[in-house]
Amino acid sequence: MVRSLISIEGLLFLAAPVFGNIGYPPIPEDLTTPFQVRLAVNGQNAVAIGWNTYKALNESCVTYGIAPDKLNSRSCSTSSTTYSTSRTWSNVAVMSGLKPASTYFYKIVSTNSSVEPFLSPRMSGDKTPFNMNVVADLGVYGKDGFKISKGDDIPYTQPEFNHTTIGHLAATLSDYEVVIHPGDFAYADDWYLKLPSVKEGQEAYQSILEQFYEQLAPITGHKLYMASPGNHEADCSEIRRLLELCPEGQENFTDFKHHFGKVMPQTFASSSSERFAQTQSEKARSFAKPPFWYSFEYGMVHVVMINTETDFPNAPDTQTGSARLESGPFGSKGEQLKFLDADLSSVDRRVTPWIIVAGHRPWYSTGSGHHCQSCQKAFEKLFFKYGVDLAVFGHVHNSQRLLPVFNGIADPRGMRNPKAPMYITCGGAGNIEGLLHIKHKPSYTKFAYAKDYSYSTLKFLDDKHLQIDFIRSSTGDVLDSSTLYKSHSVPFVTQ
């Protein structure tokens, strides 16, 4: 989300010379030590693993197997990448040939790494119930982040406190199999909220990234964690004047590309027996641009991750867009929308009955000024046409559940087999900017919450029932629970 910037800008230049002291994490003695470990679904039987090191690796390798003392498989890559302002290198390897939905163990090849467990992905078409968590706008904690001073009547929270969302996700690892995170990760571009000087901003930005991704590693190193971009990944700052000073490496989604680019999948080959689906899915694969837009399948779900920041007409984060973050494009003209059309049209509901689309900026939301109209114009018709079941967004810093809606009109069928997609916003996971008041609720709002940090759990019960829960991070209480019924009686939806 974007803060009101004018006063901050004034403050920054007044205070700039006084503050300083960037707290970088210590560099380990053993430079092969893996940090920021992250797993992602990479294909039907494959999991990609990414990690950062404080030196370049000639070879990035991982060993893995079905028991901690039987790490009989080994996979390597020669990809170890960095950029000008970074202290670390991003490494990646893909663990393939995995039996589906089985416990495995991995050890990143290093003189200072440990053996860790993970669950391999479910095959497309596996109708076993499972849970998928949704978080967005989840940022750094510690002395460079985390407060809830904004919104409702929440008292200021000491930054030293644990991040309740990260804490709760870590405490409940066995309750879910996958996490999707549509945008806004470290909030490194909010370094100016702690008022170091502009010169130190560059260091503060990198320090926040290192801290956040390491804080998230207890989750990302054990669970399949799927990412797509938000506005806070775009540039070194959201302040116009500072944008001109962004160093190379802190603009145009650079860190996001290095961190997730080779870890997110290139979209799966179709597992439908229909020729048409296979052709469309091949097309989608050729247009996919991970980590910006791509899809993956997991059990009974087809998930599409989209980019609401760049790469469609009047996208907000481009040179001419409303947020003016001077980023993109990452594909050729119209490529993202061609991808989305081909990808959604390829989904065979007999194999994966559910379609979830996740992006950062919503167009249905409480409050004013948080409706991405260019996003709506680009994406909503395609969602409806191909019968997307649930659309998931972030950006607005609270939790919201809306009834199925199309073109601003609630579907009269409600939660009983609607034609329109249902919408949720999961932007209340917690970050340095705090939570956002609930105001101006549209009539189709069923739940809106900004009193504490929260996130959502999607429970895929069977091919017709999806339970959507909102969880209060500090207590684990279920704040809201609803079930969407879809008959999924047509193999290929076009309406």
Q: Which residues of this protein are in contact with ligand NAG, per CB under 6 A?
A: 28-30, 33, 58, 112, 161-162, 167, 252, 326-328, 330
- Cβ-based nearer residue to ligand NAG, 81 or 417: 81
Helix (H) or strand (E) holding 154: none
Compare residues 16 and 61 and give the one whose CB is closer to ligand NAG: 61
- Euclidean distance between the first and the last CA atom of the chain, given in angstroms as a whole number: 33
Q: How many residues does the chain have?
A: 495
Name the minimum Å distance from CB 230 to ligand NAG: 16
- CB neighbour class for 419 (10 Å; exposed up to 12, middle 13-18, buried from 19): middle
Short-list 153, 10, 25, CA closest to 88: 25
Q: Least CB distance from residue 72 to ligand NAG, whole Å? A: 23
Contacts of 355 (CB under 8 A, 6+ apart): 301, 302, 303, 304, 344, 347, 386, 387, 388, 389, 390
Q: Which is nearer to ligand NAG, 36 or 399 (CB)?
A: 36
Please report how close the Cβ of residue 376 comes to ligand NAG at its closest, in angstroms: 24
What's the closest the beta carbon of residue 149 comes to ligand NAG, in angstroms? Answer: 19
State residue 221 phi and psi, 5-degree precision. -85, -5
Report in angstroms how near the CB of residue 164 gets to ligand NAG at its nearest. 9
As measured in angstroms, the least distance from the Cβ of 111 to ligand NAG is 8
Q: Which of 308, 480, 328, 322 is nearest to 398 (CA)?
A: 480
Please answer whether residues 238 and 327 qualify as being in contact, where contact means their C-beta atoms are separated by less than 8 angstroms.
no
Q: For ligand NAG, which is the closer residue by CB, 156 or 276? A: 156
Residue closer to ligand NAG by CB (options 264, 356) is 264
Residue 8 identity: I
Query: What tokens appear for 279 in the block?
Result: 């052709």
**478 CB neighbour count, 10 Å cutoff:** 11
Separation CA 375–CA 492 (nearest Å): 24
Give min distance, CB of 254 to ligand NAG, in A. Answer: 8
DSSP string, 205-217: HHHHHHHHHHHTH
- Of 167 and 414, which CB lies nearer to ligand NAG in the complex structure? 167
Cα gap 137→456, rounded to integer Å: 13
Cβ proximity to ligand NAG: between 55 and 371 the closer is 55
